[in-house]
């Protein structure tokens, strides 16, 4: 474990500071002792909950964008002409479902890479501090 010079952490914003008390970054009170194992476990739990909530939002946005793109293309005559010429299409619009899934998955992954920031990036998986 690395030597820590900032041993107190704010759960609300993830900022570290050298002394106990009100967080210097966001004003939340109190800060928690980073050397305590229970604090680090609590931080992992907070990080996991934030990650799950963020991923759920990204999936929802991906589904909405994927459906919106395909439904928008349905109103265009070139799309139906291309569907008949470039590829034959699948029964029950299965190709449309596949396109929606691929677009939604891509959007969700792009959002995750762009906005998937960690609140505690210095907390590693083995519950030690970098």
Residues, the chain: 130
Q: Is residue 97 part of a domain?
A: yes
What's the domain count of the chain?
1
Return the ∠ at Cα 36 (arms to 19 and 12), rounded to 5°: 60
Domain membership of residue 42 (yes or no) is no
71 assigned to some structural domain: yes
pLDDT above 90 as % of the chain = 40
User: What backbone phi and psi angles, to 5 degrees, belong to 6?
Assistant: -115, 105
List per-residue pLDDT tens for the chain, 130 residues long: 444 566 889 988 888 888 888 888 888 878 998 888 898 899 999 999 999 999 999 999 999 999 999 999 999 988 888 877 887 777 887 888 999 999 999 999 999 999 988 888 887 665 455 5
For residue 43, being part of any structural domain is answered with no
- Which helix (H) or strand (E) segment holds residue 82: the answer is helix 77-85
Examine residue 21 and state whether it is found in any structural domain, yes or no: no
Give the predicted TM-score (pTM) of the model: 0.76
60 and 107 Cβ atoms separated by less than 8 Å: no
Residues spanned by the domain of 80: 53-115
- Residue 38 domain flag: no
């Amino acid at each position: 474990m690395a030597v820590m010079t900032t041993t107190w952490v704010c759960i609300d914003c993830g900022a570290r500071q050298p002394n106990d008390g009100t967080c210097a970054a966001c004003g939340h009170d109190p800060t928690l002792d980073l050397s305590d194992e229970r604090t680090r476990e609590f931080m992992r739990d907070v990080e996991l909950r934030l990650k799950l909530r963020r991923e759920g939002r990204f999936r929802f946005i991906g589904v909405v964008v994927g459906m919106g793109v395909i439904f928008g293309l349905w109103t265009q005559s070139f799309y139906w002409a291309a569907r008949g010429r470039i590829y034959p299409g699948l029964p029950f619009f299965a190709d449309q479902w596949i396109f929606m899934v691929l677009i939604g998955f891509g959007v969700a992954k792009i959002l995750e890479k762009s906005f998937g920031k960690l609140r505690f990036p210095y907390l590693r998986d083995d519950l030690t501090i970098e």
